[in-house]
Amino acid sequence: MARLRLVIDTQCRENYGAHNWDGVGSCPQRWKSKGGSTYVLDFDHSQDNAKDLVKSLRPLIEDRNESYQEFILDWSIVDRDETPWDEWESPYFITRNFYGNFVAERELPLREGSKESFVMMPKGDRSEYHVSRKEVA
C-alpha cells in the first residue's frame, strides 16, 4: 500500500483592465500574475488515483472571470513525508469530511498557531469558513 501525497500548485492572475471597465464592449485585458497557492492531499494509492483526485479538485480550485483567474499550474505525486514547498509557504491541507466533501485547512501566515478551514465549493468558493486563533499569553 503506497502512502502518497498529491501536491497541486496554482497561479492567480488579476485583470487590472477590469477595475474601471463599465461592462460595455470587450473588457480591457491587462493581466498581472499575483502568486498562487499550494494544495496538499495525502492519499492511499490502493484506494485513490491521483488523476481522478485532480479531476475532482480542479472545479473546486479553479475560477476564471473578467477580473480574476486561479488555475492549476502543475501537480505532482511525492512520498507522504516529503514537503516540496518552501518553508515560508502556508499550503492548504485537504481532507474529506464525513459527507465526502473536500475540506481545506492551513495555518494563517503571520499569525502563529491560527488556522483557517473551509469546505471547498465550485469556482473557489468556500462554505463553513472557520478561523481558530491561538490565545496569546
Per-residue pLDDT band at 1 (split at 50, 70, 90): low
Taking alpha carbons only, the member of 81, 11, 119, 24 closest to residue 130 is 119
- pLDDT tens digits for 28-64? 888 899 999 999 999 987 667 889 999 999 999 999 9
**Domains of the chain by residue range:** 3-16+32-80+90-132
Q: What is the pTM of this model?
A: 0.87
Q: Are 28 and 45 in contact (CB under 8 A)?
A: no
Rg (CA), the chain: 17
Mean pLDDT over the full length of the chain: 89
Q: Measure Cα distances from 112 to 45, 52, 106, 109, 133 in Å.
A: 33, 34, 11, 7, 9
pLDDT for the residue 59: 96
